[in-house]
Amino acid sequence: MKNDRYFVDDDGAIISETRTEKTIRDGYNLLDIALVRKLINWKGFPYTFQAIMLLVFVGLIFIGWQVYTPEGVNDKLFAKTNIVTLVIWGIWWPLMVWFAVTMGRVWCMICPLELVSNITERLSRKLGVKQKPLSKWIRSGAIIVFLYALIQLLVAGINLHRIPAYTSFFLIGLLTISAFVGFFFKDRAFCRGFCPIGMLLNAYGRGGMIAVRAGSGNTCQGCTGKDCIMACNRNKLDARSCPSLLNPIKLNSNKDCLVCRQCIKSCEPDNMQLLLRKPFDKNDAREEKASWALTIFIMLVSGFVTSELTTEWNAANKIFVALPEYITNITGLHSIAGFIEGLWIIVIYPLLLWTIFGTITILTKGAESLTDAWRRLALPLVVIISAGHLTKAIAKLNAWIGFLPNSFTNATNGNTNAATAGINVTPFLISNQFVSIIGLTLLTIALIYSLRVEKITGKQKSYPRFIPKIILYLFFSFIAFGIGL
């Protein structure tokens, strides 16, 4: 089996080596646990879990339907007390970010959107619709970047994340698009070209500790069935060949694998593994340059994460939004102030930040042009960006989760106006200082991994190329230090 392993020798050169039987098993195979194996081999897996999550989504859509922030009520406080906004933005989103960074794309294995597109894809086939394969530009992730940017603009512009009715529309939108895409395109098209969080999971999940990998190369070589890739298995209900069109035999990265485990079920010789490994496993393949879509996405996320981190420190946030506020004031465009701020967060600020980083990279001979630098910087920098996101996620969970018990009561007795009714909760579970310490620790660990990624993928050994990563680390650490001030 050809399954390359990449590492850097003493002179900094990248060396790839075909993995041998001895090196093939890197991590603990969770399938050795009888209960895990039983669960995965169960025919109802993952559909039952996906169906439960779909019911949760539908329930939240109904509860949030036409619920707006009452007059005179602080919209942020209202969002915390309403079960729809609380569950989606205060709990699900931060937890998904945490799971992605630590465990890879594990959310995907219970994701209801995949279930919906799977159902409509099957329905469409039954009806004889001629489904299209995804074109190259859609597969590149261009639509995903656009949809993610749109969501961030709506968050800044209309407070999508604070108003239950908008969150309800958002969920309806996701379910509707997944249904349509599944109907008209084939081969898990929604996940591969449309899911707005697909690229976030792709970028953040690369170092995750859960990974699906083939076992012995000899077994695969001698395997006559090749059920994990046979097209005739793709449309089965269970034990399918990879529905994402990946080649499980050669899998050497977490970026596209949804951990759906169909290939594990389909492998008659029982040679697929579900590994628990160290973070950022050294055997995973790493690109020297990120694709264009991924690069733009990571640039955009760097703006979003900076903005989110500054909201935890009033003084930092005032400085961060000073320019868009100034522009709003001099133009008098107060009705679209949120969108102006959104453009600053996801377009202008990232461009400025990455131009600085790119210029440093060129000056240190790490790249030939600005665009070349951006693509080389994207993957090492996203490790630090994801740690910033984790820090924000903890701060958010810490501030929101205390409202959960009362939000259930509000949802059942119809009193969604709990914010005005007075809420007796202790919203902060741990102190802001402790959140700050956790953030600084995460960022420091991320810097180490980021420099490691740089060393593995970089063109040559050149310590000055560490400078942009160190600057971003210091910048995020400075903001994390001020959490709660």
Task: Summarize as ranges the residues that interact with ligand SF4 (CB under 6 A).
Answer: 107-108, 111, 113-114, 190-191, 195, 197-198, 201, 212, 214, 219-220, 223, 225-228, 242, 244, 246, 248-249, 251, 257-263, 267, 269, 271-272
CA dist 362 and 423 (Å) reads 54
**Residue 211 β-bridge partners:** 275
Residues 452, 458: Cα–Cα separation, whole Å: 10
Query: Least distance from C-beta 348 to ligand SF4, angstroms?
Result: 28
- Please report where in the chains the tokens 């001099």 appear, as a residue: 330
Task: Check if the beta carbon of residue 466 is closer than 8 Å to that of residue 450.
Answer: no
Type of residue found at 414: G
CB atoms within 10 A of CB 51: 14
Do residues 185 and 131 touch, judged by C-beta distance below 8 A? yes
Nearer to ligand SF4, 272 or 353 (CB): 272
Q: Which of 485, 355, 372, 383 is nearest to 431 (CA)?
A: 485
- Between 304 and 344, CB nearer to ligand SF4: 304
Q: For the CB of residue 177, give the shortest distance to ligand SF4 in the complex, in Å.
A: 10
Q: Give, for 51, the enclosing helix (H) or strand (E).
A: helix 47-64
Rounded distance, CA 394 to CA 292, Å? 30
Give the span between the Cα atoms of 128 and 159, in whole angstroms. Answer: 42
User: Could you give the count of Cα atoms lying within 13 Å of 239 in the half-sphere of its Cβ?
Assistant: 11
d(CA 293, CA 473): 24
What secondary structure does DSSP assign to 121-140, as a single string?
HHHHHHTT--PBPPPHHHHT
Q: Assign residue 159 a region: left if phi > 0, alpha if psi is -120 to 50, beta otherwise?
A: left
Which two structure tokens, joined as six digits, stand for 235? 């449309």
Question: Can you tell me the distance from the alpha carbon of 220 to that of 249, in angstroms, rounded to the nearest whole number?
Answer: 7
Q: What is the nearest approach in angstroms of ligand SF4 to the Cβ of residue 83? A: 22
Return the residue matching tokens 């894809």: 121
CA distance 255 to 269: 25
118's CB contacts (< 8 A; 6+ apart) are: 182, 188, 243
The C-alpha angle with vertex 74 and arms to 73 and 78, in degrees rounded to 5, equals 85
Q: How far is the CB of 200 from ligand SF4 (least distance, A)?
A: 9
Count of alpha carbons within 13 angstroms of residue 319, beta-carbon side: 8
Q: Which is nearer to ligand SF4, 272 or 440 (CB)?
A: 272
Helices (H) and strands (E) in the chain, counts: 23, 5
Interatomic CA distance for residues 420 and 414, integer angstroms: 14
* In the complex, minimum distance from the CB of residue 90 to ligand SF4, in angstroms, rounded to a whole number: 19
Neighbours of 123 (CB within 10 A): 13
With contact defined as beta carbons under 8 Å apart, do 395 and 312 qualify?
A: yes
